[in-house]
Amino acid sequence: MRYLLTACLLLAGFFAFSQDDLLKELEESTPKTNDLTLATFSGTRIVNGHSVETRNRNVLEFIITHRFGTINSGAYEAFGLDNSVVRLGLEYGITDRLMVGIGRTSSDKTFDYFAKYKVLRQSETMPVTLTAFGSAAYLGLKNEELNELSTPDKMAYTTQLLIARKLSSRISLQLSPSYLYRPVVNQDTTVNNLISLGMGGRFKITKSFALVLEYYLRLNDHSDSPYNDAIGVGLEFETGGHVFQLVFTNSQGMVERQFMAETTGDFFDGDIHFGFNITRAFQLGRKK
Amino acid sequence: MALEGTAQKLVAEKSVITFFSDALIEDIKATNSKTSSIFNKQTGELAFSVPIREFQFIKKLMQEHFNEKYMESDKYPKATFSGKILNLDASQSALQQVKATGKLTLHGVTREVEITGTALSGDKIILKSKFKVKLEEYNIKVPQIVFQNIAEEVEVTVDITYKPQ
């Protein structure tokens, strides 16, 4: 009886071994895949600036970004709640790599549009995702000073190279060399051709909850510039089809020219605007 | 002996694995046609390897969440099965009810399972099965999200056509 049991065990062991062998053979015969890295960032924005992410083909995203006044404006202004700026945007993925968007911001009645394209996508053989970004913004505000400008002079153009790497499932980092061109500026305080370096990151705390940080360093602004570098800190929640970000930033503007070049608040002096970025994605059509 | 062994081995020529989840707001369905499999019709030994990233959803965003949040496919890129079909008579050409036992590895968790299905033998062998997977048993945590309620059990359908290697 004992022998029989031993024999059975041996046999079972043999079968287990040979079954695993078959699996091993299978694994060896399947070619290695080079999967693209998914979701370096949850949303198309880190805080104020764009992330490397684009929306996939046929995805239409409605994005509401919103900044209150500064928290240190006191109880009379309800700590900033009385004074808010909103951008409404519609953004669409033409292909899985190319995306376009339009938006309208209440500050300076600015109308903006952009396109971004994923040139490189991180995978096992590609270390980074590189996205090219271009945008234009038009100052729609009418006042005596602005009415004297022609339409081209009211534009601002931004070009960015967004370079990001998802280091692990928790940490993603991005560098964003940026060039902003404004045809008409006050030559005593700022420059027409502003170069800045954006830096950003996402740190996941749980699968759906993350901390996001962003800093835009101006590299060649006028030495008498009254402006500050834009700093943003946010908490991000992601659920199916939505990204919610609660942000704290010294820039009330959400368009590139506004946060890259015209940030008036001093973050460390308490000129912090509380705000939200809220997105809702809709899948249009059917996948091919 | 070795030659004989090879002759008994069949490989997947066509494979379709789908999973279906009854959810509160919308049903979730995904299809995978990139599964590889080997079946030894003499011994009944069977192995599967399913690349998780190849599950195609209609909604790409859902596909991203499936990989990122539920399956963690960067850590666990494959689901595998390694086992044995117990009662297949390969000489019989009628549809047979069969049972397989073995180890199912999903999301890094391996469990002994028993799966029933059908087999149709000829030059090619077609194996079909439908079974349920409890997410909790494989340590797949579904975040309690306001907008998306995912069932705790998903239905998996397997349909594979084997041809001689």
Is the pLDDT at B163 greater than 70, yes or no? yes
Considering the domain architecture, whether residues A11 and A65 belong to the same structural domain is answered as: no
Determine contact: A18 vs chain B, CB below 8 A. Answer: yes
Q: What are the CA-CA distances from residue A89 to residues A111, A236, B101 (Å)?
A: 10, 19, 54
For residue A283, the chain B residues in CB contact (below 8 A) are 58-61
Position A54 in a domain: no
- ipTM exceeding 0.85? no
Residue A212 and residue A89 in one domain: yes
Distances (CA, A) of A84 to A229, A275, A276: 21, 9, 11
Task: Flag if B147 and A33 touch (Cβ within 8 Å).
Answer: no
A22 and A146 together in one domain: no
Please report the pLDDT score of residue B58 as a whole number. Answer: 85
Residues A201, A265, single domain; the answer is yes
Percent of chain A at pLDDT above 90?
Answer: 72
Say yes or no: A17 and A67 in one domain: no
Rounded-to-integer distance, Cα A20 and Cα A2, Å:
27
When comparing pLDDT for A34 and A120, which is higher?
A120
Give me A213's structure tokens.
Answer: 């940080």
Q: Which residues of B touch A206 (CB under 8 A)?
A: 143
Q: Which amino acid is at A179?
A: Y
Q: Which residue type does B161 have?
A: T
pLDDT given at position A165 = 97
Summarised one tens digit per residue, pLDDT across range B42-79 is 888 999 999 999 999 888 888 888 898 889 998 999 99
Q: Which CATH architecture has domain B9-164?
A: Beta Barrel (2.40)
Closest residue in chain B to residue A40, using alpha carbons only: B68
Residue A272, domain CATH: 2.40.160.40
pLDDT, position A288: 45
As a whole number, the mean pLDDT across chain A is: 90
Domain span at residue A17?
1-28
State mean pLDDT over A238-266. 92
Share of residues in chain B with pLDDT > 90 (%)? 50
| Rounded percentage of chain A residues whose pLDDT exceeds 70 | 92
| B45, B51, B62 ranked by CB distance to A33: nearest | B51
Residues B8-43: tens digit of each pLDDT: 888 999 999 998 887 766 778 899 999 999 998 888
pLDDT value of residue B1: 40
User: Chain B contacts of A17, Cβ < 8 Å?
Assistant: none
Query: Given a cut of 60, is residue A16 above it in pLDDT?
Result: no
Q: What does the pLDDT average to over B86-93? A: 82
Centre a 10 Å sphere on the Cβ of residue A125 and count the other Cβ atoms it contains: 6
For residue A234, CA distances in Å to A78, A142, A151, A215, A245 come to 21, 33, 35, 12, 6
Least CB-CB distance to A56: which of B49, B60, B77? B60
The mean predicted confidence, pLDDT, of chain B is: 86
CB contact B84 to A (< 8 Å): yes
Task: Based on the fold, state whether residues A20 and A116 are members of the same structural domain.
Answer: no
Q: What total of structural domains would you count in chain A?
A: 2
DSSP label at A123?
B
The answer to whether A225 and A217 have CB atoms below 8 angstroms apart is no
Residue A15 pLDDT > 60 = no
pLDDT value at position A10? 52
Q: Does the residue A39 lie in any domain?
A: no
Q: Residue range B111-135: average pLDDT? A: 91
User: Could you read off the pLDDT of A163-178 as tens digits, one per residue?
Assistant: 999 999 899 999 999 9
Q: Tell me what the mean pLDDT of segment B131-151 comes to.
A: 75
The more confidently predicted of residues A119 and B140 is A119
Residues A275 and A202 in one domain: yes
Q: Which helix (H) or strand (E) holds A23?
A: helix A2-29
Residues of B whose CB is below 8 A from A242: 147
Residue A135 falls inside a structural domain: yes
Asked if B27 reaches chain A (Cβ–Cβ under 8 Å), the answer is no
Strand partners, A87: A65, A105
Distance CA A210, CA A88 (A): 24
Inside any domain, residue A36:
no
The residue that leads in pLDDT, A22 or B109, is B109
Q: What integer pLDDT is reported at residue B147 of this predicted model?
A: 46
Which of A15, A17, A18, A19 is most worth mutating to test chain B (most B CB atoms within 10 A of its CB)?
A19
Residue A243 CA to residue A252 CA, distance in Å, equals 20
For residues B147 and B23, give the distance between their C-alpha atoms in angstroms, rounded to a whole number: 11
Find all residues with CB under 8 Å of A52, minimum gap 6, and list them.
A40, A41, A118, A129, A130, A131, A162, A163, A164, A174
Q: What is the mean pLDDT of residues A215-219?
A: 97
